[in-house]
Amino acid sequence: MTLFPTDFLWGGATAANQYEGGALEGGKGLSICDVLTGGSLTKKRKLTWKNPQSGETGYADLAPRKPLVLPEGAVPAVLENEYYPSHKAVDFYHHYKEDIALAAEMGFKAFRMSVNWARIFPNGDDAMPNEEGLQFYDDVFDELKKYNIEPLVTMSHYEIPLNLVLNYGGWKNRKLIDFFENYARVLFTRYKGKVKYWLTFNEIDNIKGYPLICAGVPEYSEQAIAQAAHNMFVASAKAVKLKNEIDPDMMVGQMLAYMPIYPISCNPKDQLLVLEKERDALFFSDVQVGGYYPNYKLKEYERKGITLETGKDDFYLLREYPCEFIGFSCYKSMVVSSEDPEKRNLKNPYLKESEWGWAIDPDCLRLTLNTLYDRYHKPLWIVENGLGAEDQLVDGKVHDSYRISYLRDSVKSISDAIHLDGVEVMGLTVWGWIDIVSAGTGEMKKRYGLVYVDLDDEGHGTCKRYRKDSFYWYQNVILSNGENLG
């Protein structure tokens, strides 16, 4: 029995700031991620700054749910002699032909990547796009086409031109709606016929914890976050409207970070907390996919005195131009307790954890797929899932049975959602199908790839690519359309 549809889009996912490199080449401007240092589990990533008057330089913390605090007169800046993982990343910029050939060898049907906004509009507010940047992505899309691989393109994946942060305060400024609309128009017009699937903002719901990285908003206030999210919703709706005008065959999706949340006990208070925490993510799809602000959020804004600056067409746009599919990332599940509602990472005694403390939950994809499908009845695409682990390269080989086991459970979970529950699933793009820089920690050591890249946390190494055991495993999965799970 065939469990997966014949047009199921198997593939892998990446993001420009973690993969592409060439950050200072081809006329690209600086993005917010280009001023972030590397790090590790124990040494947190920092943002570097400079005071242009005094020449003083330094490092600022990037803690979740905290504002970015810089000394008077200091601005985020690239410092000499500092290592920035996004600048070279794993150098897709110069290896795209080789990498796409590897993806094709595995049998990929889809290749998720992001366009770096600052490669197209170096300052975000430029009148004209950067032709060299446009040409680079043309070359990449042409290369994918050679192998019949569909690009799935995120328009902003944890990067935003630095100028839009410094001079506009990021997405809390409504001017960004116009800049993004212009960017979307350029992308859709230029890549019409080459790119069918688009995602607007990566993991938009993470704005609550990371407003700077998600939306270029340096302060931490619920008012600023609500406004930034609203502006992004309107920009997303405008992108859907635009693609209808430019190429109705394209599909624009939402991209949500989602994880199932379990109550620590059957105490009803714990279940109420689950409801609340789930809404932290679902609010974003309620608006971007459902097309309206849900009452629970309006009530919350009322209670907190949050008011939105809106345009006269905003709510009409949200209603008329919702996203057409939901792309989501899902790596783990979470446990909450009403005794300590803010505490994350409570241990689940039924699950093992990755070396980075992420719960390995074989059922999290089926649960997520059902939750989202029951609520929206729109097609779903698992655009990120995978296991970050430390790999050993020995004699050119990596025996990553732990990754195969994780991914096997994921494929089974998706298959159950399709054939037991009838969920409409478009595809799976395994996260970091080739080793890339970790977004959270800024290190290379946390590897998700089915292909190993010889680079360390400081960017030293040959950059050579090696096929891991999981490469061959996934190749068989794709070849058998999910029947042969090894």
Residues that bind ligand BG6 (CB under 6 A): 15, 18, 158, 202-203, 257, 329, 384, 388, 431, 438-441, 446
What phi and psi values does residue 154 have, to the nearest 5 degrees?
Answer: -85, 135
Q: What's the closest the beta carbon of residue 112 comes to ligand BG6, in angstroms?
A: 10
In a 3-state reduction of DSSP, which class is residue 31? strand
Single out the catalytic residue among 143, 150, 324, 384.
384
Residue 288's nearest CA partner among 169, 191, 203 is: 203
Contact 57, 77 (CB under 8 A): yes
Using H for helix, E for strand and C for coil, what is the string for 336-384? ECCCCCCCCCCCCCCCEECCCCCEECCCHHHHHHHHHHHHHCCCEEEEE
Q: What's the closest the beta carbon of residue 202 comes to ligand BG6, in angstroms?
A: 5
Of the pair 89, 242, the CB lying nearest ligand BG6 is at 89
* Lookup: tokens for 376: 């929206």
Cα separation, 237 vs 228, whole angstroms = 14
Of the pair 45, 50, the CB lying nearest ligand BG6 is at 45
Of the pair 19, 376, the CB lying nearest ligand BG6 is at 19
- Please enumerate in sequence order all residues whose Cβ is within 8 A of that of 279, keeping only pairs 6 or more positions apart, or say none: 294, 296, 297
Cα separation, 287 vs 234, whole angstroms = 10
Q: Which DSSP letter does residue 125 get?
A: S
In a 3-state reduction of DSSP, which class is residue 30? coil
Q: What's the closest the beta carbon of residue 433 comes to ligand BG6, in angstroms?
A: 12
Q: What's the closest the beta carbon of residue 36 comes to ligand BG6, in angstroms?
A: 12
Cα separation, 448 vs 423, whole angstroms = 27
Of the pair 4, 448, the CB lying nearest ligand BG6 is at 448
Cα separation, 162 vs 34, whole angstroms = 8
Q: Is 105 a catalytic residue?
A: no
Q: What's the closest the beta carbon of residue 387 comes to ligand BG6, in angstroms?
A: 10
- Amino acid at residue number 430: V
Q: Is 300 a catalytic residue?
A: no
Of the pair 67, 440, the CB lying nearest ligand BG6 is at 440
Of the pair 27, 440, the CB lying nearest ligand BG6 is at 440
* Lookup: tokens for 109: 């049907």
Cα separation, 453 vs 458, whole angstroms = 13
Burial category of 417 from C-beta neighbours within 10 Å (exposed 0-12, middle 13-18, buried 19 and up): buried
Residue 465's nearest CA partner among 437, 442, 440, 434 is: 434
Single out the catalytic residue among 150, 203, 324, 443.
203
Of the pair 130, 410, the CB lying nearest ligand BG6 is at 410
Q: What's the closest the beta carbon of residue 18 comes to ligand BG6, in angstroms?
A: 6
Q: What's the closest the beta carbon of residue 154 comes to ligand BG6, in angstroms?
A: 9
Active site residue ranges: 203, 384
